[in-house]
Amino acid sequence: MTDAPKNLLRPLPASLPEERVDVLTPPGAVRVERIVSTGHASPPGFWYDQREAEWVAVLQGAGRIAYDDGSEEELRAGDHTFIPAGRRHRVAWTTPDGPTVWLAVFYEG
């Protein structure tokens, strides 16, 4: 957290070898993360299966979350969604046109 970015939106890297995750909160019951993707997606067949609930927004760029029931949800700047604990999901796509900034709040709900 000491090295957390002071600003969520600048500066942003134009491209990254892999997603960059910064934790923005002190250790505790809740973890706020900024995640920067530059065209990244979850590996094929990979699913997040979390014990924690997740509230997530896209602050810049665009991304698509796929769920294991076959549905997908596209988030553009300002869009947000809630993923209950145990709902399997993956990042199906993020825009290749510049960085996508996710803001995610994880907690045991």
Rule CB under 8 A: which residues touch its own copies?
A: 6-10, 24-26, 28-30, 32, 53, 55, 57, 59, 77-80, 82, 103, 105, 107-109
Q: Which is nearer to its own copies, 10 or 51 (CB)?
A: 10
* Closest separation in Å from C-beta 55 to its own copies: 5
Cα-based torsion angle of the residue sequence 24, 81, 76, 49 in order, rounded to the nearest 10 degrees: 70
* Closest separation in Å from C-beta 68 to its own copies: 21
**Per this entry, what is the length of the chain?**
109
For residue 61, give the DSSP letter: S
For residue 4, give the DSSP letter: -
